[in-house]
Every structure is written in structure tokens, then in C-alpha cells.
Structure 1
Amino acid sequence: MEATVAVTPDQLPELLLHVAVVRPVFLWGAPGIGKSSLVRTFAESLGLECVTLLGTQLAPEDLIGVPQIVGDRSRFAPPETIARPEPYCLFLDELNAASPEVQKSFYSLILDRRIGNYELPEGSVVIGAGNRATDNALARPMASALVNRMVHLHLRADVDDWLKWAALNDIHPWIVRYLVQRPDHLWSPPPKTEAPFSTPRGWHMLSDAMHSCGDDIDDTVLHVLTAGILTAGHASAFRAYVKTLRHAYDLEAVLKGDLGWPRDPGDRDLLYFLSETFRARLVKDLPGAREHLSPSLGRFVIRVKAMLIELAEISVECAQLVIAADDDGTPALPTWFLIEVSRDLPRLAARR
């Protein structure tokens, strides 16, 4: 199912508070963006125990139970995992990854809140969750009868929400500071091949590993960890960022002229990271029209042109990265600035 309207993790609890208490909810979202933890946190906020059933690990009898003889008749006895006397939150994780037979077993539980003679206690809530087929995750088509039994919410990763959560959950400060600068690296689409990709869950795992290793973590170890958790580009950029922290080598120092661009071939990952950060700084600070340029920004533009020449002397590729268009071909930097760069850089370079 494709999202038409998506919600952020910060918006979800309020929605669940009003909807999940009256109707079953199904939460869609990419792997690793926090669906399960958000549901557990919501259940805790209501004072309910969260009972999780994994659709991929269930058979129909795990829900409807097995027959038992009562008097001269038989009846199905639902498992004690479900048949509880007190209200609780029933979390059906990976529901759309379950077999069609298991999905059918959920029909009456989801719509009528009943299995056989057992009825969920008053005050219980039912929430399902699953990945989308486009996430290259295990996901089976959900029958229309099941789709129509639930309210569907689509969750998206949101860096501001995640950073708020990170501040309260001991996420490694290097990771927090990095994602403040590169919020676009919090999440990446799942690849079509079996390769690591960046998710909020992945950054959390990396944080745990880094805390365990300590701040003197060797670059080789950091390389292994990041390569096994993040996309290749994000892993390289994060390692370069850590190098800037350790050597007090940041873009501000280069902008002020206190430091030059790193020239050592062994620092090529650092040069690439600084180039990307430089590009992000220009996208943020340069106005869309030249007439909106203040005197201080005018001086900044002069310095930027000089820095681009210095960067091109070391790596034409990195200099091109700074002024390149976005992936869809849309210019990332203002047109007036790109025109000035193409006009002035050859003349400025000749002076040098």
C-alpha cells in the first residue's frame, strides 16, 4: 500500500490515542524507522501491557487455539498469550507478512475483538504494523476484507523527531551532531540487493556499538561497523566527520582561512565530506536572488569563489560536487551564483 498522507513519529501518539482506542489501526512504514518501539511506548503511556505477535512466526492454531472437550462438546481454547483477563495492547507486528491462512484467523479478532468464545477485555487496543512491498521486505498482499477492517496510517522518518528522541536515549553525541548537519542521512530507501542501508534503527545500533568501544575507537573498527550498518556513502561521510572531530578540522576553519582544504591522499574521505558540507552550507545561506545579497553575504560569496578554486586544484570532482545539480537535474544552488562562478572562476584561477 502506497502512502497518500504520512505522519511523523511525533504526530503518531496523538492519533493513536483517539483512533486506536475505538478502532484497530494498521501502521505502515519502511524497515527500521521505529514502528514497533512507537507502539510499545504508546501502550506504556496508556498503562497497558504490550503483547506482540509476529505474523511471520504464527500458524492459525496459535490464534484460534486447539479444541478441548467441555462436558459433551468441544470448543477452541485460545492461547493464554491472547486470552487475558485484563485489558492490554495486542500488537500484530509483520501482519501483512503472515500467510493468507493466518491473516484470515485475525478477521474476527480485528473486527469483532473476539476469538471463539473469548472477547478482548474492555479497554484493550489492537494495532497492526508492516512494511510495504516497495521496501523489498517480506510482504504479502492483504485481502480487501482485512484492509477494510482497520484504519491505515503511514509513518515516515523525521529527523527532528528522532533527534528529540536521541537526546533522551543516550545516542552517541557524534551521531547526533552528524545528523544535525546531515539530516538527509538519517534514512535511505532499502536497496534492491542484500546490502546495509541507513535507518533510525541502524544509527541506534551504531551508537550502542560506539558506546561499547569508547571514544578512542580505532578508525578500522569504525570502518567495519559503519560499513555493516549504513549505506556505503553515509558510512564514508560519517567516518570523515569523526576525523574532523578528532583533528579539529571543520568547515568553519576552512571558511575563515585558518585551515586549507586537506591535501593528503589519505584524507580524501575527509575532503569529500567537507565538500558535501560546503555545498549544504551554500544551499542554506545563499539567497535565491542576487538583489537580496547583504554586504556580509557578498564578502562570503567572494570567499566561496576562492575556496572553489583551491578545491578544484586538489580535486576537480569535489569542486564539481559543490555546484552540481540534484539527482533530478534541478540546480541546488541559485542560478545567479552559478552564472557568476562560471564567469569568474577562470579569471580568478588565471590570477593565481
Structure 2
Amino acid sequence: MNVAVVRPVFLWGAPGIGKSSLVRQFAASLDLECVSLLGTQLAPEDLIGVPQIVDGKSRFCPPEQIARDEPYCLFLDELNAASPDVQKAFYSLILDRRIGSYELPAGSIVIGAGNRATDQALARPMASALVNRLVHVHLRADAADWLKWAANNGIHAWIVDYLTQRPDHLWSAPPKTEEPFSTPRSWHMLSDTLHSYGPEVSDETIAMLGYATLTPTHAAAFRAYLKTVRHAYDFEAILKGDARWPAAPQDRDLLYFLAETFRARLARELPADKRHASPTAHRFAFRAKTLLVELAEISLEIAQLAIANANAEDGSPALPSWFLLEAARDLPRLVAARA
């Protein structure tokens, strides 16, 4: 806040991580109206206005939505996607906080936002003169922060519970082709559609909605998670030995999801250095090796996926190297014991 009242701020971040929502929430916290201008839909005259003859002299009249008497938050969304002429029109507004003879009221805030060129989104290079007039902040999606927000903003309970277990599925890098991908925005869209359908929504409809808004991997995992919720499958019961891995062919997607949950649990609860492992972590590591053997008896492929190398594309977390070495050493003995 101390920066934005004296210098314009520019937010960089991938599509769908909540840049626009963050600005609107910030403005609301200050009791300021947020006026949003979308760079891709503007022409220069939308900013500088049109000339009018006053006392025999031409004078530019800025548009009503900009020329206000009370302080407000001016949000220049997709600023770096605007045409060069529109970006030039922003210069005086950003540098001098004025358009023609109109000056922003004291206490007004100017914030810009845009995607990066690496996000497969529309992004034009910004002139160095414009770059140098902005205070730059780079944002990323954070599951802990988003889940706190979601709990108070009506996000569907299934989505909150799922992302609590799989925070690594909140966001995925934009693909190079035109297909859905996972972002806080897409999870919010999925939440809205699930609320619209109600609690009786079918598994087939959930799959359709998931594949329409998320990456294929995340959509399949979310559908399998809901099978665990609806049909009383529970990884905790498997971990405690009160239940077994589902072995029926029709439950293969469920088995895959439980194996992913198993991997995420290993990554979360086992420290990178064995010397820092608590007694509880050691017991969990020992039980995990038995569970791997039981999983391999059903599907060797899924068991291998559970301990495979981390994959940056699907967001699978890395497992501690000491656990993988112990597993490679102990699994033959555990297999022999079960035989």
C-alpha cells in the first residue's frame, strides 16, 4: 500500500492465478472503487479522450470512467498485451498520474497486471521506458493461501478437500496447445458448475466437467477422489491395514488415485535427509514399503508410478533419495516374506 499510492505497481503472473481478484480485493479493503481497463480492448482515445473546443482552444476530455473526483484504484489489466499505441497512451497516466489536464485525485492507486511471454498467452514486449516507470511484483499460485480464501468464498467442499490433499494440483503450467489446464480460476469454475448441478451430480457428469476445466491428469485424479468419498474408500484405512488396495478392474482409476495420494503423502511426511526423520516418519517409511509390495501384486505399473522420478509436467512431487534406496534394498526381502 505504501508503494502503490506514490508509484504504479505491475503484477506479473501466469493466467488464472488470481491477479485481477487480488487487485479488486485490495481496493475493497481500502474502500476504493476499482476501475478496470482491459488493455486488449482499448484504443488510445479510450484513455486520452477526444478533443473539444473550449474558448477557441482544443482540449482533450478524458473518459468519464477515468475522470473522477474521488480517489479510486485504476487497474490496467493485460497492460502488456495492449497495442504499442495504447501502451504509449498509458505513459502520462503511469508517470505523471494525469491524462491531459486531468490529474488523478490524491490517494488514487494505479496497478497494472499481465502475463509473461512464457505463459503461452498474448504478451507484447513493453518498451523499456514503460518498464522503468513501474514497480514490478512477480506472483505465483500458493495452495495454502488459496485454500484459506476458498474456505470463506463458497468454493465447493469436494474441491477444498481434494486440494488440501493434493495442493500440487492447484496450478499447472499453460500447455502449448489449446486445451484446458489447472489454475485457481479453473478450480473456481469447476466449483461453480458443481454447485449448479447439486449433490446428485453423476460420476459421468463430474468427469465431463473435470476434463472441460482441468488438465487430463488432474481431472482423472479428481474423479477418482470423488469415488473414494462416495464409495467409502479411504487411504487412511489402507495405511492402517484396515482395508486393502482396490483390486477390481473397474476400480483401476481409483487405484491410480490412491497410489498418487500415497506418493504425495510420502513426499510430504518423509524428510529429505534421513537424519531428520522422526520415529513416526521411520514407522511410516517401513509401512510404506509393505504397501508398495501389496500394490505391485495388483499392478506393477502403478506401483512403479508411485515411486517414479518427479515429473514437472504433471506436478508429481519428488521422493527422498534415502527412502528410494531403502525400498530398492528391502523390497525383494518383503516380497519373499509374503510369498
For this structure pair, what is the TM-score category when the shorter chain's length is used for normalisation?
Answer: over 0.9
- Segment drifting more, 106-115 vs 306-315: 306-315
Deviation at 1:332, TM superposition (A): 3.6
Using the alignment, how far apart are the partners of 1:181 and 1:314 within structure 2?
24
Alignment equivalent of 1:259, drawn from 236, 243, 266: 243
Using the alignment, how far apart are the partners of 2:322 and 2:40 within structure 1?
55
Deviation at 1:339, TM superposition (A): 3.2
- Segment drifting more, 228-237 vs 261-270: 261-270
Q: Which amino acid aligns with 1:342?
A: A
Distance 1:296 1:104, change over 3 A: closer
Using the alignment, how far apart are the partners of 1:151 and 1:331 within structure 2?
33
SS in 1 for 2:88: helix
Using the alignment, how far apart are the partners of 1:241 and 1:326 within structure 2?
21
SS in 2 for 1:18: coil
2:304 maps to 1:320: yes
1:191 alignment counterpart: 175
Distance 1:158 1:269, change over 3 A: same
**CA offsets, 1:144-185, max 9 Å, x none?**
111111111111111111011011101111111111111111
Using the alignment, how far apart are the partners of 1:287 and 1:158 within structure 2?
21
2:335 alignment counterpart: 349
Alignment equivalent of 1:338, drawn from 319, 324, 327: 324
Alignment equivalent of 2:190, drawn from 206, 209, 215: 206
Using the alignment, how far apart are the partners of 2:70 and 2:226 within structure 1?
50
2:108 alignment counterpart: 124
1:10 alignment counterpart: none
Using the alignment, how far apart are the partners of 1:131 and 1:322 within structure 2?
34
Q: TM-score, normalised by structure 1?
A: 0.90
Could you tell me which runs of 5 or more consecutive residues in structure 1 were left unpaired when the two chains were aligned.
Answer: 1-16
1:89 alignment counterpart: 73
2:8 maps to 1:20: no
**CA offsets, 1:109-161, max 9 Å, x none?**
11111111111111111111111111011110100111111111111111111
Deviation at 1:298, TM superposition (A): 5.1
> What does residue range 1-352 of structure 1 map to in structure 2 within 5 Å?
17-288=1-272, 299-327=283-311, 332-351=318-337, 352=339
Deviation at 1:199, TM superposition (A): 0.5
Q: Which amino acid aligns with 1:252?
A: E
Using the alignment, how far apart are the partners of 2:292 and 2:66 within structure 1?
64
Q: Which amino acid aligns with 2:306?
A: V
Using the alignment, how far apart are the partners of 1:119 and 1:291 within structure 2?
62
Deviation at 1:310, TM superposition (A): 1.6
SS in 2 for 1:326: coil
Q: Which amino acid aligns with 2:157?
A: P
Deviation at 1:204, TM superposition (A): 0.8
- Segment drifting more, 105-114 vs 66-75: 66-75
Number of residue pairs matched? 335
Distance 1:290 1:197, change over 3 A: closer
Deviation at 1:79, TM superposition (A): 1.0
Distance 1:310 1:154, change over 3 A: same
SS in 1 for 2:7: coil
Q: Which amino acid aligns with 1:307?
A: L
Task: Calculate the aligned-residue CA RMSD, in Å.
Answer: 1.9
Q: Which amino acid aligns with 2:308?
A: A
Distance 1:295 1:152, change over 3 A: closer
Could you tell me which runs of 5 or more consecutive residues in structure 2 were left unpaired when the two chains were aligned.
Answer: none
Deviation at 1:346, TM superposition (A): 2.5
Contact 1:196 1:228 in 2 (8 A): yes
Using the alignment, how far apart are the partners of 2:91 and 2:264 within structure 1?
50
1:8 alignment counterpart: none
Q: TM-score, normalised by structure 2?
A: 0.93
**CA offsets, 1:189-218, max 9 Å, x none?**
101110111101111111111111112210
Distance 1:57 1:287, change over 3 A: closer
Contact 1:324 1:331 in 2 (8 A): no
Deviation at 1:28, TM superposition (A): 0.8
Deviation at 1:293, TM superposition (A): 6.2
Using the alignment, how far apart are the partners of 1:314 and 1:29 within structure 2?
42
- Segment drifting more, 77-86 vs 101-110: 77-86
